Chain A
Amino acid sequence: MNARKFKDKLGTSVAWICSGITILFLLVFLGRIIYKGFSVLSWNFVFTGPREAMTEGGIYPALAGTFWLTALAILIAMPLGILTAIYLTSYGKPRWLVRTVRIAINTLAGTPSIIYGLFGMAIFVNLLGFDVSLIAGALTLAILALPMIINATEEALRTVPQDFRDASLALGATPRQTILRVMLPTALPNILTSTIISIGRVAGETAPIMFTAATFFSRQLPKGLSDEVMALPYHIYALMTEGTHPAKQVPIAYGTALVLLILVITISALAIYIRYNIRRKRQW
């Protein structure tokens, strides 16, 4: 074997090994959570509340809490994010304001999530007096989701062909009509896909809700916006760090992790499915 062929083989093998290691990590990670969590998983586990100081019972309040937190956060972030993106791509004046908004978005996107938690506590919980509540947590998560939704929407609007815009304007449409009737409908599938992915991200966050919404234990489901809620990621954290009966609680934590994982993977799969369908149907 000559030197060039050897180098070629070597390069290929290194690349193979590296990708192998990545996949291995994922498999071990998934395997361990499934292995440890599967034993406690049952309909009962998913649909009942915790009992006996959280050493038995299920996670229903946490599941419901995560659902409400995520749904509210996305409902708040979506209109805000989409309108901001429309402003950035389609109006974009004055320039200094656009630049400022962009810097703000990028800074937000790079902020560690625990900072969101502290910010949410300072503003929503203390300053605005929402206390630790569903609404304070949802608002905090909404700010976390905002840069993701803005960037995705901007990207989606930019990929709408200029031709469509020209055609609409040339038919006597105003810029507003052009955005509402042509640009947004064309970009909407992509906006939705990205939003769904950000749902997965929001559902799994612990730090932002730690000081703003989450409670260690709650017997019932949240009744209103001002209630504290349990949430899946915080539930795992609480069981692993503050539990008094590790032998009974660690399996429950793994079970919770498995449920959260299934939830996030299902949501991502849904996004992938939608995107696949759009790409197949798209004809421009």
Chain B
Amino acid sequence: MVETQIRTEQLKLWFGKNQVLHDVSLPVYKNIVTAVIGPSGCGKSTLLRCFNRMNYIIADTRIEGKVLLGKEDIYSGRSDVTSIRTRVGMVFQKPNPFPKSIFNNVAYGLQIQGKYPKCEIRDRVEQSLKAAWLWDEVKNRLNCSAMSLSGGQQQRLCIARALANGPEVLLLDEPTSALDPQSTAKIEELCLELKKTVTILIVTHNIAQAGRVSDYTAFMYLGNLVEFDLTEKVFTVPSDKRTEAYLTGVFG
């Protein structure tokens, strides 16, 4: 049986008066890629941002229910949002490296914690870049601006940046929707490699991508978690009509 790394329990979320998530209870298993699919506006990105408390940035957000990282409820008063975010990393839809050097981009998460000596930061930057399959491409120009990289490289840099903190969970919010097919393929392969060390939750518009990279798939519709099961099962014998309709392209 697989171990649960992070999960939501009866999660409800409102933006103002508008309820965006309805009683979502989703387990994310350890060292496994879980994909969240669904039509635009179904709340899948909002759900993803609940896992590292990024929804709090938007005003008027109200959340009920629990998000449990291990045994810790990350929304309880005791938990510290900055340490949650080092344990749950995130990569965004659009590659968003800082306008700093490649090295400083990856080192950022460690530098701000202020507790790592320089030599350790250097080692971890190298490890992270290697883990994100970027090291060979950038090892000779770590001090160049991250903006000089291609889109696909930038996105892998963002993955390396998130990995440097040594997260338990990596949240990927449509990480390839701004990339060309080749870079997309590379990042998908990378996901399969990374899941050996980190739990991955990926939101994607691309159904085929979910099929390629994920072990489990969650289908969301209008803020409800409609179906959650092994990807194989969801794609071949979906138990809900709406899932079947979405996967076969009736809507979406």
| Interface of A toward B, CB cutoff 8 Å | 161, 163-164, 166-174, 177, 181-182, 185-186, 282-284
Given A166-B54, A181-B108, A283-B147, do A172 and B113 touch, yes or no (CB 8 Å)? yes
Q: Secondary structure at chain B's binding surface: helix, strand, loop or mixed?
A: helix
CB-CB nearest in chain A for B114? A177
B interface, CB within 8 angstroms of A: 52, 54, 57, 82-86, 89-90, 92, 94, 96-100, 108-109, 111-113, 145, 147-148, 158, 161-162, 165
B92 touches A166 (CB 8 A): yes
With A161-B96, A166-B57, A167-B158 as known contacts, state yes or no: A284 contacts B147, CB within 8 Å: yes
Q: How far is the CB of A277 from chain B (nearest CB, A)?
A: 14
How many Å lie between the Cα of A37 and that of B65 in the bound state?
A: 77
**B158→A186 contact, CB < 8 A:** no
Contact between B99 and A167, CB atoms less than 8 A apart: no
Closest residue to B99 on the A side, CB-wise?
A186
User: In the bound complex, how far is the Cα of B96 from the Cα of A170, in angstroms?
Assistant: 12
Neighbouring A residues of B94 by C-beta, 8 Å: 163
B92 lies within 8 A of A283 (CB): no
CB distance from B54 to the nearest CB of A (A): 6
| A168/B165 contact (C-beta < 8 A), A173-B82, A177-B112, A283-B145 known | no
Q: B90, B113, B147: which contacts A170 (Cβ < 8 A)?
A: B90
Nearest CB in chain A to that of B110: its residue: A171
Number of cross-chain contacts by CB at 8 Å: 69
- The residue in B99, B113, B145 that gathers the most chain A C-beta atoms within 10 A of its C-beta is B99
Smallest CB gap from A161: residue in B: B96
Q: Other CB < 8 Å A-B pairs besides A185-B99, A282-B99, A283-B99, 15 of them?
A: A166-B96, A169-B54, A170-B54, A170-B92, A170-B162, A171-B86, A171-B112, A172-B84, A172-B112, A173-B109, A174-B82, A185-B100, A186-B99, A283-B147, A283-B148
Contact between chains at A171 and B165 (CB < 8 Å): yes
Which of A161, A170, A174, A185 has its CB near the most chain B CB atoms (within 10 A)? A170
Instruction: Kindly list chain A residues whose C-beta atoms are within 8 Å of the C-beta of B99.
Output: 164, 185-186, 282-284
Closest chain-B Cβ to A176's Cβ sits at a distance in Å of 10
Query: For chain A, what secondary structure do more than half of its interface residues adopt (helix, strand, loop), or is it mixed?
Result: helix
**CA gap between A176 and B108 in the complex, in Å:** 14
20 intermolecular pairs with C-beta atoms under 8 Å apart: A163-B94, A163-B96, A164-B99, A167-B92, A169-B85, A170-B85, A171-B85, A171-B109, A172-B82, A172-B83, A172-B86, A172-B109, A173-B82, A173-B109, A173-B112, A181-B112, A283-B145, A283-B148, A284-B99, A284-B147
A52 to B72, CA, bound (A): 84
**Chain B positions within 8 Å of A169 at CB level:** 54, 57, 85
Chain A residue nearest in CB terms to B95: A163
CB closest residue in chain B, given A163? B96
Q: What's the Cα separation between A167 and B92 when bound, in Å? A: 8
Chain B residues closer than 8 Å to A186, beta-carbon distance? 98-99
Which of A169, A177, A185 counts the most B-chain CB atoms under 10 A from its CB? A169
Residues of A close to B148: CB separation below 8 A: 283
